[in-house]
Amino acid sequence: MRLLPRDKVRKIIDLCHEHGVYVSTGGFVERVIAQGSRAVDLYLEECKALGFDVVEVSSGLAPIKLPDKVAIVKQVRELGMKPKPEVSMMIGAGAGTHIVGYSEKMKLRPYAEMVKEVEAHLKVGAELFMLESEGITEDLPAKRWRTDVIKNLVKRFGYERWMFEASDPPVFKWYLKNFGRDVNLFIDHSQVVEFTAWRLGLWGDPDIWKGKDLSYKRK
């Protein structure tokens, strides 16, 4: 949206709306906030003017203080859009930071701190949350995935409140098996076909045929 002319962005958003698809921003607020509070206000007003339905409020890279992040969430609501706060376990990670080895440089937040953030956003009207994969599943072997964090957040706040970042096929396969075909996942556009095939049980997962009679008996 930053590189395209405004009329092009509007046409794309209108096309999505014509087909019943809601449109969300990315986490660009992290770049905007470095220019000050007024820049954030102008950014949110422009999102509204362009027709965005959802505004992601992230702080994976930029260390935005929780009260300020909550204030942005509240402002999004007041403008008539839906906020989608990003909740991250890893501090200072996001975008392409894994390329330079974030696992060795970044700190992990306590689970209790994540809970505190979700509760603060709920109080000002947030309904949907993005769970970032850094520190949870991204670039980690399966045995080190923090599935305990995922399950505890779902148990505490409800399944329907979450969009889970699942950037690798083994990860979204885990989500499908544990939460079902309607799980709300954030995946790369290049993975849509593979994800849909697994979600619908068409092909791609040996478990689809487990326990089924696959014999061919001609009469």
- What is the token pair recorded at 118? 């979700």
Is pLDDT of 131 > 70?
yes
Query: Residue 105's pLDDT is what?
Result: 57
Percent of the chain clearing pLDDT 70 (strictly above): 93
Q: For the chain, what percent of residues have pLDDT higher than 90? A: 68
- Distance from C-alpha of 133 to C-alpha of 5, rounded to nearest angstrom: 31
Domain locations in the chain as residue ranges? 6-209
pLDDT of residue 94: 61
Kindly report, residue by residue over 146-167, the tens digit of the pLDDT.
Answer: 999 999 999 999 999 999 999 8
What is the rounded CA–CA span in Å between residue 28 and residue 56?
8
Residues 102, 132, 66: CA angle, nearest 5 degrees: 95
Q: Is 160 helix (H, G, I), strand (E, B) or coil?
A: helix
Q: Which residue has the higher pLDDT, 188 or 80?
A: 80
Could you read off the pLDDT of 44-74 as tens digits, one per residue? 999 999 999 999 999 888 889 999 999 999 9
Question: What pTM did the predictor assign?
Answer: 0.88
Summarize pLDDT for 175-214 with one digit per residue, the tens.
998 998 899 999 988 999 999 998 888 887 787 788 888 8
Q: Distance between CA atoms of 86 and 47, rounded to whole angstroms?
A: 18
Domain spanning 6-209, CATH architecture: Alpha-Beta Barrel (3.20)
Q: What local confidence, expressed as pLDDT, does residue 93 receive?
A: 67
What pLDDT, on the 0 to 100 scale, is given for residue 114? 96
**pLDDT for residue 193:** 92
